[in-house]
Chains A and B, each alone.
Chain A
Amino acid sequence: MTAGQVLLDAASKAGFYGLMTRSMGPQIRGGEAAALLRISTRPISSLDDHYDLLVAFDWGNINRFAAELPLSADSLVLADPTHGAMPEPIAAYGARAADLALKDIAATIPGGRVNMVGVGAAAALIGLPLDAVLQVVTTQLARKGEAVLAASTAAIKAGAEAAAALPATARLPEHAHDGAPRWNISGNEAAGLGALRGGIKFVAAYPITPATEVLEWLAPALEKTGGVLVQAEDELASINMVIGGSFAGLPSLTATSGPGLALMTESLGLAVASETPLVLVDVMRGGPSTGIPTKSEQSDLNIAVYGLHGDAPHVVVAPTSITDCLFTTQWAVYLAEALQTPALVLSDQAMGQSRIVAPQPQPAPFKAQRLVAEGGLETYQRYALTDSGVSPMAIPGTPGGQYVADGLEHNERGTPSSQASDHQAQMDKRADKLSTFDYGAHWADIEGEGDIAVITWGAVSGPVGEAIERAKAQGMKIRQISLRLLLPASPERMAEALAGVRRILIAEQTHGQQFTKFLRAHYDLPAERVVVNRPGPLPIRPNEILSRLLAWK
């Protein structure tokens, strides 16, 4: 991971854009891990179909993740000959191979490490300027002392020298920094920042892979901005602490993954019934049950949309890219607070644990703005029926606003009621406030034109976008619709977006076509359609989408 991080940071320093995802095994520390990078002269949002260069530091457990490392015949595989022959699943790609004596070269340098030799060789092969690499390492290792830095510098240089004897591989073009400010950020950090920008002041959560980094980033950031983060004893506690924090007046958030979301669903219903705003970031991983905790999937869609008992209208949104984790989480804070309801953000491991070097994101105006009750509260009714369905919320400390928030059905005042008319009125209120709200153009990212549309969401939006670009280059006209607002559904906007479309392709990372079934339940879709779906962890590649689109040419 360190090697990948150095290369990505160096690419950024040299003026390139880039993306790094990771594939990790189940080990607590060490074990197999791959840093998967793509470097480009222009902003990117997807991995490519294959890798041009594979540097193998060892072949340990390669069988477990070789499928995640697609190579072409032109690709180059570098490996230390002392690790033995290239294992079958890698050899099967038919790529070119070359020896790189990582261990021997490292051994010539006191304190020299193979990963830095690999970094030097890779940088030289792909044409990444060596001074950018050395600058990054100097910054990263400053606190580890001069000896470590000297050893790393020497190892990188030795690796770069060794590259001169290696066969050529795909090289980056000469490229000058365009001077535009850019960010180096992971999806989980972006979600944390979106929360902060939206005005989150209270976080309670329980650690879980792959969501923990959202919390680890937020803990010091919140502390420095007057907020509080608490580690709870479990997810049942974290969601209820968040409900308490929000009831007490602070915009509040928790982050989790599938198993935690499952534990939280009862209390999400409480937030719906008691009209307590909160944001829940779910960084999805392979399921069901413990599933594949370190790898991505989009299979929490069903539980996020349908998982609550009773009729429980709530908001579900999903970022459409790594950087969009910022915007969408910030928007979710705004929606939750404006609508006094839980808003779920469906991120995933592929976005959350990937880093991107991208243009600095544009600021968005969304801030927590809760309708609160202040003054003139002699006849205050917490759940008063209003035109918008949203009623002023009294915050503890406000004289005269005392009420009891309740998960029991209640009347306008908040007093428990099992009366049919109260149930009907409050159910209407909770549904109408969501369905009549103006979500604006943010409900989906829509691009392109033509009578073919690709409908997708989340991390799959990236490869879809790239596939459409390639299809356009071949003269096709295709529309992309990446949904950001999943719940409530927007049938009118979708009808507008699909006007003139005759054929659709739906792309999603689930085994059971959860997204396709969701779309069919909520929208009128053209009858002619193709679904590209697969469970994690193998991401859907641009060419898989492209080949289906070209069949319609």
Chain B
Amino acid sequence: MTVQTSLTAQDFKSDVKPIWCPGCGDYAVLSAVTKAMAELGRPREDIAFISGIGCSSRIPAYTNVYGFHGVHGRALAIAAGVKLARPDLTVIAAGGDGDGLSIGGNHFMHACRRNVDMTYIVMDNQVYGMTKGQASPTTAPDWCNSKLTPEGTGISPVEPARLALASGANFIARGFAGNPNEVARLIVEGIHHPGFSFIHVLSPCVTYRPEQREWKNVVHPGEGDPSKAIAEAMQRLSTDDGYTTGVLFAGTRPAFMPARHEKASMAEIEGKFLS
């Protein structure tokens, strides 16, 4: 099915102008995604790019593949439907930390354990940008800059990679928007890895979280080979500072795909009702 093409990252960009703020990390993720799409060597029409709602969820419209911009929190469900219906397509889902881990949290857990062969990119900026700066599930409990939670949330944040591992994700990686080449490489690796791959991307919000400009000074590559053993990966992630980039876990579970057969005619099926 795969056809080698000589498309460049630019060929995967659409002419729609992003609504993102200048300096937003999502621009770099868009570059990484289109670079990854070009590296796959598949024609544009064989890729489906699915999202929910939020700043980052606008991303499919900025690419030139088939896309679906759905409702808040349900990108993974639409993506699973696409892949299960059409296993021949390459399916990528993307969105933000609120979309994927708050309103869509249940689907995230089940996508990890269902292990449908698709790739999910979460652009994590630890804030709801589209609604003008509220705490997200990855926001620190003492962040007081939202009018909605002026004293901070007082709730410990979700660590997405740990949640993914505990839920059964088959491939987990973390990238930083400041290093789009690495993000592109991780996306390609995730797409090639069988089953559900989760790419956590630290993508700064310069508007509501300007302090995230400092992320470039704290991200660091992981040490050694990515673990294939869940227990070892658990151990590493439990002490991880959340800024380690690279592949964090690469499991060996086969992808989920129900079998398809045509082994009965309608006449045989309907015959059972004859009385």
Contact = CB atoms under 8 A, between A and B. Distances in A.
Interface stretch (B27-35, B41-49, B134-142): B41-49
B175 to A, nearest CB: 24
Given A183-B275, A223-B259, A405-B68, A242 B266 contact: no
A201 B260 CA distance: 11
Contacts of B45: 396-402
B77 A248 contact: no
B74 A236 contact: yes
A440 interface: no
Greatest chain B CB density within 10 A among A189, A236, A246, A357 is at A236
Interface string B241-275: 00000000000000000111111101001100111
A223 B258 contact: yes
A230 interface: yes
B132 interface: no
B80 interface: yes
Interface in A230-255: 230, 232-234, 236-250, 252
Max count, chain B CB within 10 A of own CB: residue among A12, A202, A243, A396: A396
Contact of B84 (A221, A230, A400, A415): A230
A402 B58 CA distance: 16
B82 A189 contact: no
B273 A243 contact: no
A185 interface: yes
Interface in A168-190: 181-185, 189
Nearest to A8: B275
B118 to A, nearest CB: 10
Contact of A407 (B44, B64, B70): B70
A13 interface: yes
Please report whether the interface of chain B is mostly helix, strand, loop or mixed according to DSSP. mixed
B67 A189 contact: no
A13 B61 contact: no
A12 B275 CA distance: 7
A274 B58 CA distance: 15
Contacts of A107: none
B156 interface: no
Interface stretch (B85-93, B196-204, B207-215, B226-234): B85-93
Contacts, number: 183
By CB atoms of chain B within 10 A, which of A196, A248, A407, A416 has the most?
A248
A230 B258 contact: yes
B69 A404 contact: yes
A285 B103 CA distance: 28
Nearest to B66: A396
B260 A237 contact: no
Contact of A403 (B46, B66, B89, B264): B66
Contacts of B109: 233
Nearest to B88: A397
Interface in A95-111: none
- Prevailing SS type, chain A contact patch: mixed
Interface in A382-411: 394, 396-408
Contact of A396 (B89, B269, B274): B89
Interface string A208-237: 000000000000010111111110111011
A228 B260 contact: yes
B71 A244 contact: no
Interface in A187-206: 189, 193, 196-197, 201-202, 204
B110 A233 contact: yes
Given A13-B275, A402-B45, A407-B71, A244 B82 contact: yes
Contact of A415 (B16, B64, B78, B81): B16
Given A183-B273, A249-B85, A397-B45, A196 B68 contact: no
A244 B50 contact: yes
Contacts of A185: 273
| Size class of the A contact interface (CB-based, 8 Å) | 35 or more
A466 interface: no
The size class of the interface chain B forms with chain A is 35 or more
B56 to A, nearest CB: 15
B251 to A, nearest CB: 20
Contact of B43 (A221, A241, A399): A399
Contact of A240 (B77, B88, B260, B264): B77
Interface in A342-396: 357, 360, 394, 396
A19 interface: no
A161 to B, nearest CB: 28
Nearest to A405: B68
B71 A224 contact: no
A197 B79 CA distance: 26
A202 B86 CA distance: 10
A236 B106 CA distance: 10
In the complex, which of the residues B58, B64, B71, B79 has the most CB atoms of chain A within 10 Å of its own CB atom?
A: B71
A182 B259 CA distance: 33
A236 B86 contact: no
A245 B79 CA distance: 9
B82 A402 contact: no
Interface in B100-154: 106-107, 109-110
B255 to A, nearest CB: 14
B177 interface: no
A362 B216 CA distance: 69
A244 B80 contact: yes
A490 interface: no
A274 B68 contact: yes
Quick one: which of A12, A197, A240, A243 has the most chain B CB within 10 A? Answer: A240
Contact of A248 (B85, B273, B274, B275): B85
A324 interface: no
A508 interface: no
Contacts of A267: 70-71, 74
Nearest to A269: B71
A250 B86 contact: yes
A237 B105 CA distance: 11
B89 A241 contact: no
A133 interface: no
A228 B80 CA distance: 12
26 contacts: A204-B81, A204-B84, A223-B258, A223-B259, A225-B269, A226-B262, A228-B85, A228-B260, A232-B110, A233-B107, A237-B74, A237-B106, A237-B107, A240-B78, A244-B77, A245-B81, A245-B85, A247-B81, A248-B89, A250-B86, A252-B85, A267-B70, A357-B275, A396-B66, A397-B46, A416-B69
Closest 4 CB pairs of A and B: A244-B81, A240-B77, A404-B67, A241-B81
Given A233-B107, A237-B77, 6 more contacts: A204-B81, A241-B77, A270-B71, A404-B69, A405-B68, A405-B69
